[in-house]
Structure 1
C-alpha cells in the first residue's frame, strides 16, 4: 500500500512508523512543510498509560521516549502567598522538538521517507491512502470543508504559551490576584533546563492589565513581575510571533472522504488544560494503524478507525469542556482554602461540579472517597440531578 502522510507532527510520524513496522512492504512518505528541526512549541505532557500502549506496538520507541522525558508525581498550587502540594499520578514532560526528533529517527530507521520543506495543499495522485495530519489549520481538510463539516468554537479566556528556565519539580499552578482580576499559569518541566509556562486570564483582566496592547517585551516584564514568586528570578521566554489567543475547539462531521482521512488536530482538538493533545494524536495513529491491519478493504478500515476513535474521545472531550469551564469560572473556587481549591482543581473534569456549591462538593467528594456506596452514587449523579441538589442546598441555606 502506498501511503502519503501530510504533516510531520506526532500523529503523522507515529502512523508512518507503525505502518512500516506492520508491513515493511508499505510505501510510506511523510511531507512536512517546515524545514527539519524548526519545530515550534515548548514541552508536551503525557502519562504512563500512553507509554504502555505505545510499548505494545513499538517497545524500542517507547523506551526512547521515556529515556528522554522528565517525570513528576506531585502537583503544587501557589495561591496568593500560600502553597499546597498534593501527590498524584506519575506524569511526564518532553520537549516537542525532542519528541519529533525521536519519532523521525525511528521512522527513517524503518524505511519511511521524510520530505521536509514540502508543502502539500491537495491530495497527491497515485496514493492508496492520504492522511491529513497537518494540524488544526489543515490545508487538505480546508479544500473539502463542506464535506467534512468542519466547525470551530472559541473559548472565552485568552492564553499565551511561554517557556522559562525555571525547572519545576512538580506540575505547578500559580494564581495571582491583581486589581483587574486573577491571572494564572500552568508550568511543567520537560528537559534541557526549561519548563513550559502557559499563562491564562479572563478577557477583562487582559485588557485591565494592558496585556492586549503591550509589546512583547513589556508583556514578559509584567508577567515576570506577577509570577516572581514561582519563577524565583528566572525569566519567561517567548517564541517569535507568540501572542495572546483564545483556544479554538475544532470538530468535524466526518473524518474521511474516499482515500483521504483526518488524523490528530486536523480531526479534533481538546482544550490544552487537560494536557492530552499529544496523547490523543498518538492514540489516533495507533488506532488507524490497527484498523488498517485488521481490515483489508480501505473503506472498512477508515470507517472502523473513525467509529472507534469518536467513541474513545467522548470522555476526553467532555473533560476538556468542563476543565475550560472551571477556569472560566475561577472566582467560584478561588476563595476556598488552598488545599480545598486544589482538590476541586483536580475534580474540574466532573460534570457534577458546576451544579453543586463548591464547599458542598468538596465534602461530598471527601466522603465518597471513604465510602464505596457514595462513590457509586457520585458517578451515577449527572448534571440534571446535580441541579436539583443545588436547588435544595440553596433553599436550605437561605
Structure 2
C-alpha cells in the first residue's frame, strides 16, 4: 500500500511506524510543513497505561520514549498560602520536540520517508496514494477542504489560557491558584526534562481583561505572571512564544468534533479528528491510540472502506467517556469560584472529582461528604453512578442547556 501522512505530529509518525512493522513493503511518506526540529509547545504528559500500549505495539520506540521522559507520582495544589499533596498514579512528561525526534528516528529506521518543509496547501492536489492520513492538527487543511462532508463543529471554551515553559522543574504535577484583585488565576505545571517544565496559565475572561493581559505585550504579560506566581516558580522565569507582532498567545480552547472521520481514501487522525480539553492531559495519548486503532483496522480488513469505517466506530466509541470527562473538567475550571472557598483538602478532592456528571448539581460540601462515604460503601458508589446522569438530564431539560 502507498500511504501519505500529511502532518508530522505524533499520530502520523507513530502510524507510519506501525504500518512499516506490519509490512515493510508499504511505501510511506510523511509530509511536514515545518523544518526538522521545529515544533510548538513545551512538554507533553501521559500516564503508565499509554506506555503499556506502546510496549505492546512497538517495544523499541516505547523504550526510547520512556528513557527520555521524566516521572512523578504526586499531585500538589497551592491555594493562597496552603499546600495540599495527593499521592496518585505515576505520570510522565517528555519534551514535545524530543518526543517527535524519537518517533521520527524510529520511523526513518524502518524506511519511512519524512519530507520536512513540504506543505500540502488548501489548493494543492492530495498526494497520490492509496491512503491519505490527515494528521495536520486542529486547523487541518485537508479536513477544511471537505468540512461539510466531515460535519466539523468547534465549540469555544469560556476561559482564556496560555501555554508557557519555565526553567522551574516541578517534581510533581503542580496546581497553583492565586487570587488577584480581578479574580482567580491559576496554573498547571509539570516537568518534562532536567531543566524545563510546561506551565499552562488559565483565568476567566474578566480576570484576563482586569489584569490587562488582553493589552499587554508578551514581555509585559510574562513579567506580571511571574509576579503572580512567584511563590510556585521560586524566582524562575516563564518562557513564551511571541507572535510576529509581539503579542502573547492567549487562546480559548477549541473542542473539535466531526460527524464522520473519513472520505474516500482520506482519513482523519489525532487533533484533526477530535480535541479534548488540556486539563485532562489526554491529547497525546488519544492521538497515539488513534494510530494504533487505524493500523489494526487496516490489518484486520482487506477492503479500505471497511477498515476506515471500523476505525471510526472503534475510536468514536472509545472517546465518548473521555470527551464527556473533558467537557466536565473544563466546566469545573469555568466555575472555579464555586469550589475555591472550600478548605484546600476538600477543594483538591473535588478537583480530582471534576469529571463527575453529578458534581455540578450538588452543593460542593455535600458532594464531598457523599464521595467520602461512597469510598467506603459500595451502595453509595452505585447511587452516585445511577443518579449523576439522571440529574444532569433533568437539569438540561429544565434549562435547555
* Number of residues of Structure 1 aligned to a counterpart in Structure 2: 389
Q: Provide Cα deviations, 1:53-109, integer angstroms capped at 9, x if missing partner.
A: 111110111111111100111000000111110100111000000100000000000
1:263 to 254, 259, 269: 269
Match of 1:138 among 132, 137, 140: 140
Aligned to 2:296: 290
Counterpart of 1:15 in structure 2 is 15
The CA distance in 2 between the partners of 1:10 and 1:116, in whole Å, is 15
Between the aligned partners of 1:80 and 1:388, the Cα distance in structure 2 is: 36
Look up the match of 2:232. 230
2:398 corresponding residue in structure 1 = none
Q: Matches of 1:133 and 1:8 in 2, distance apart?
A: 7
The answer for the alignment partner of 1:382 in structure 2 is 388
Give per-residue Cα distances to partners, 1:174-221, cap 9 Å, x unaligned: 000011100000000000410000000000000111010011111011
What TM-score does the superposition give when structure 1 sets the normalisation length? 0.96
Q: How many Å apart are 1:125 and its aligned residue?
A: 4.7
The 1-side partners of 2:390 and 2:310 are apart by 33
- Name 1:395's counterpart in structure 2: none
Q: Deviations over 1:120-146 (max 9, x none)?
A: 134535310000000011111111111
Indicate the SS of the match to 2:375. Answer: helix
Question: What is the CA–CA distance in structure 2 between the aligned matches of 1:167 and 1:98, rounded to whole Å?
Answer: 17
Determine if contact 1:123/1:130 at 8 Å carries over to the other structure. Answer: no
Is the 8 Å Cα contact of residues 10 and 288 (structure 2) preserved in structure 1? yes
Alignment correspondent of 2:109: 109
Check if 1:347 corresponds to 2:356: no
Instruction: Select the residue among 245, 255, 263 that pairs with 1:249.
Output: 255
Question: Which residue of 1 is the match for residue 362 of structure 2?
Answer: 356
Residues 46 and 278, structure 1, Cα contact 8 Å, conserved in 2: yes
Root-mean-square deviation (CA), in Å?
Answer: 1.2
Given that residues 180 and 204 in structure 1 are in contact (C-alpha distance below 8 angstroms), is that contact kept between their aligned partners in structure 2? yes
2:305 and 2:174 map into 1 onto residues whose CA distance is 45
Q: 2:80 corresponds to which residue?
A: 80
2:399 aligned partner: none
1:38 is matched with: 38
Deviations 1:198-256 (A, max 9, x none): 00000000011101001111101110000000000101110232411100111111110
**Quick check: 1:355–1:387 contact (8 Å CA) kept in 2?**
no
Pick from 121, 146, 149 the counterpart of residue 147 of structure 1. 149
Shift of the alpha carbon at 1:386? Answer: 6.3
Structure 2 stretches lacking a partner, 5+ long: 396-401
Task: Name the structure 1 match of 2:209.
Answer: 207
How far, CA to CA, are the matches of 1:192 and 1:120 in structure 2?
36
Aligned pair in 2 of structure 1 residues 27, 85: CA closer, same or farther (>3 Å)? same
Q: Residue 388 of structure 1: CA displacement?
A: 7.8
Distance, in Å, in 2 between the alignment partners of 1:381 and 1:71 is 37
Deviation at 1:371, TM superposition (A): 1.4
Q: Is the contact made by 1:355 and 1:383 (CA closer than 8 Å) also made in structure 2?
A: no
Q: Distance in 2 between matches of 1:359 and 1:96?
A: 39
Residue of structure 2 in register with 1:394 after alignment: none
Looking at structure 2, the residues matched to 326 and 115 of structure 1 have their Cα atoms a distance apart, in angstroms, of 42
Structure 1 counterpart SS, 2:119: coil
- Tell me how far 1:357 sits from its aligned partner: 0.5
Structure 2 residue aligned with 1:299: 305
TM-score of the superposed pair, with normalisation by structure 2: 0.95
Q: Is the 1:252–1:268 Cα contact (8 Å) retained in structure 2?
A: yes
- Which sections of structure 1, spanning at least 5 residues, go unmatched? 390-398
User: Counterpart in 2 of 1:94?
Assistant: 94
Match of 1:66 in 2: 66
